[in-house]
Amino acid sequence: MKNRQIVLAARPEGLPKESDFRLIESETPEPGDGQLLVKTNFLSVDPYMRGRISEMKSYADPVAIGQVMVGGTVGTVVESKHRRYRPGDVVVGDWGWQEYALSDGKQVQRFDTSLAPISTALGVLGMPGLTAYFGLLDIGQPKPGETVFVSGAAGAVGSLVGQIAKIKGCHVVGSAGSPAKVDHLLTDLGFDAAFDYKQVTDYAAKLQEVCPQGIDVYFDNVGGALTDAVFTQINVHARIVVCGQIDQYNATRPPRGLRLLWHLIVKRARAEGFLVFDYVQRYREAQEQIAQWLGAGKVQYQETIVDGLENAPGAFIGLFRGENLGKQLVRVAQP
């Protein structure tokens, strides 16, 4: 049986190109004792992966040229020589952009299909959902009545950040990259205000208009000039949750901008970065809470799905053009 895989073909400069990836065919491996063979149903493409294919020093080694592209995945066990898994089990892991993968059962978790559709294992109940949950609640610590501003608000992380902030009683404002996304935030997700950053020239003036009480919590997925403007609008004791800086992931030279630290003194404010992996001991708590909100209709999620492993590079590149609403997924095989 053939396995199709997408490997990193070249180290991208700037915005990745399709030719930075290559589809290869190999023999599907046979599971040995204690192993299972998983068939990929969905793979996740996320902005953070840009850092994983860069030579820039980061929290993990970069993907090597010729290596299967990394990323979150959910799939179905098709063959098992592992005593805890059987064919048909749905598992979540990080086996990357390939149709089949071997596992020893240690790097996968079983997904409870009674909770929600299995695609949510990569979205609202997976890494993006956990990122929103811990970043907002643990780092941002929003209090009722405070103003929470989220950049990249129509993405997988940002859309949940805004909805959780509403549950916590905050005034919630978001920015996104198209009129349709802004409409989604206001109409479907209950944001109090939202704007299309591509149609705004004076970010500070716009923020003053939509956050008239100033900004208490800024959940930053974006960085760049919008973040510069936010620093001028923060309140005393503001918390800046540094989650992503997609604005600079494709930079070909060290990004420069306004110096921001002075604002932290004047406002006695805090900027803090985090990685969701540090919260692994509390994943279950978060997933149960999010699943409960889902069941109660208090949060909703959007997915943008493309079909076919071969379209993974295009879907990934599309993230940097803002082509996704909510979670961007690639359906490799129907569940």
Binding footprint of its own copies on the chain (CB under 8 A): 57-59, 220, 223-224, 227, 242-245, 248, 254-275, 278
Q: Which is nearer to its own copies, 51 or 335 (CB)?
A: 51
CA-CA distances (angstroms) from residue 221 to 24, 89, 152, 174, 179? 33, 34, 6, 11, 19
Q: Whole-number minimum distance, CB 256 to its own copies, in Å? A: 6
Cβ closest to its own copies, residue 73 vs residue 227: 227
Task: Please tell me what DSSP assigns to residue 135.
Answer: I
What does the chain come to in residues? 335
The amino acid that residue 37 corresponds to is: L
**In the complex, least distance from residue 57 CB atom to its own copies, rounded to whole angstroms:** 8
Q: CB of residue 285 vs its own copies: minimum separation in angstroms?
A: 19
Q: Which is nearer to its own copies, 29 or 255 (CB)?
A: 255
Which residue type sits at 164?
Answer: I
How near is the Cβ of 20 to its own copies at its closest, in Å?
21
DSSP 199: G
Cβ(138)–Cβ(112) below 8 Å: no
Q: What are phi and psi of 238, to 5 degrees?
A: -65, 155
- Min CB(72)–its own copies separation in Å: 18
- Residue 57, classified by CB atoms within 10 Å of its CB into exposed (0-12), middle (13-18) or buried (19+), is exposed
**Torsion angles phi and psi, residue 256, rounded to 5:** -120, 155
In sign, the C-alpha dihedral spanning 210, 216, 222, 226 is positive
User: To the nearest whole angstrom, how small is the minimum distance from the Cβ of residue 59 to its own copies?
Assistant: 5
265 versus 280: smaller Cβ distance to its own copies: 265
Within 10 angstroms of residue 319's Cβ, the number of other Cβ atoms is 21
Q: Which residue, 134 or 301, has its beta carbon nearer to its own copies? A: 134
Contact assessment for residue 304 and residue 325, using Cβ atoms and an 8 Å cutoff: yes
With vertex at residue 144, the alpha carbon angle to CA 140 and CA 147, rounded to the nearest 5 degrees, is 60
- Choose between 263 and 331: whose C-beta lies nearer to its own copies: 263
Are the beta carbons of 320 and 244 closer than 8 angstroms? no
Closest CB 231 distance from its own copies, rounded Å:
10
Complex with its own copies: residue 71 or 244, whichever CB lies closer: 244
Which residues face 327 on adjacent strands?
303
Of residues 174 and 244, the one with the C-beta less far from its own copies: 244
Closest separation in Å from C-beta 321 to its own copies: 21
- Using the Cα atoms of residue 29, residue 30, residue 31 and residue 37 in order, give the sign of their dihedral: positive
- Phi-psi group of 171: left, alpha or beta (phi > 0 → left; psi -120 to 50 → alpha; rest → beta): beta
